[in-house]
Amino acid sequence: MQHSGKVALVTGGSSGIGQAIARRLTRDGASVAVADVADAGETLKMLAGAGREGFSAPCDISRGEQVTGFVEQVRDRLGPPQILVHSAAVQFMRPFDELSLADWHRTQAVNQESMFHLLKAVLPGMKRTGWGRIIVLASSTFFVGAPAMTHYVTSKGALIGLVHGLAAEVGPFGITVNALAPGLTRTKKAVADLPEELFRHVASLQCIKRSGTPEDQAGVVSFLASEDAAFITGQTILADGGQGRT
């Protein structure tokens, strides 16, 4: 129960990697609040099954007023967030010459600009208590590229830049800031949207010859949120099975 007494805020926790993170943090002792535009009822049932009360409410994290209101509700229900995990993302494939400005803006707003609103809402509390863990989900696509996903890769690269800058600023307050860059992960959405051949091909390029799972990523997040990771900050951890290093 390494996170006992801690309150975690997880964006995008209604499904996929975000849901696995919410479950793992709960299992490890945290009280978890899920911010998502989608219904998080399934996640809340999972958290209750782990013996802890969770909290969720509809929240478009690209809108500052909704983030502020959500964090106020979290403080009232669970306490001030001490762990922030940003997992929510807009992700779709579209060649750049077919990409609209609206597509670009929406991707940036949800994937990286939302961190401005989230940090404004939670950083003051972390500074007051002298402890905090900020973890953002970047992507291995930033390092290897991805056709028809320039908008997505750009947004994830911006998060890595945020980690580098913010870590130096908030370290004196006992706050760490890190990024986790997952490789191709076998979420329900990915399985529905992508051909099985792609999973097999990517696995063949990895040192570990299997597809990644949401639980693979959740374990890393729980570690980065723990006291064991107190001296790790400003880092981007690739959890991609060693893709391209065979």
The three-point CA angle 101-142-126 to 5° equals: 90
Nearest Cα residue to 12 out of 31, 39, 30: 39
Q: What is the mean pLDDT of the chain?
A: 95
Taking CA atoms, 167 is separated from 6, 12, 179, 182, 226, in Å, by 21, 23, 11, 20, 16
| pLDDT value of position 50 | 80
Question: How are strands ordered across the β-sheet holding 31-36?
Answer: 55-58, 31-36, 7-11, 83-86, 132-137, 175-182, 236-239
With cut-offs at 50, 70 and 90, classify the pLDDT of residue 112. Answer: very high
For residue range 62-80, list pLDDT tens digits in order: 999 999 999 999 999 999 9
Q: How far apart are CA 32 and CA 99, in angstroms?
A: 36
| pLDDT value of position 245 | 79
Domain 7-185+214-239: homologous superfamily in CATH? NAD(P)-binding Rossmann-like Domain (3.40.50.720)
pTM as predicted: 0.95
Kindly state the tokens that stand for 184: 């191709």
Adjacent-strand bridge partners of 33: 9, 55
The 8-class DSSP code of residue 4 comes to T
For residue range 145-166, list pLDDT tens digits in order: 889 999 999 999 999 999 999 9
For the cut 90, the answer to whether the pLDDT of residue 51 exceeds it is no
- Per-residue pLDDT, averaged over 220-244, amounts to 96
Nearest Cα residue to 220 out of 186, 179, 191: 179
- Catalytic hit among 152, 162, 218, 225: 152
CB 69 within 8 A of CB 24: no
Q: Crossing angle of helices 64-77/114-129, nearest 10°?
A: 30
Provide the residue ranges of all domains of the chain, joining segments of one domain with +: 7-185+214-239
Q: How far apart are CA 13 and CA 245, in angstroms?
A: 31
Say what percent of the chain tops pLDDT 70: 99
DSSP, collapsed to helix, strand or coil, labels residue 226 as coil
Give me the sign of the Cα torsion angle 90, 19, 84, 229.
negative
With cut-offs at 50, 70 and 90, classify the pLDDT of residue 246. Answer: low
For the cut 80, the answer to whether the pLDDT of residue 191 exceeds it is yes
**Active-site residue, 152 included:** yes
Locus of tokens 């306490």? 79
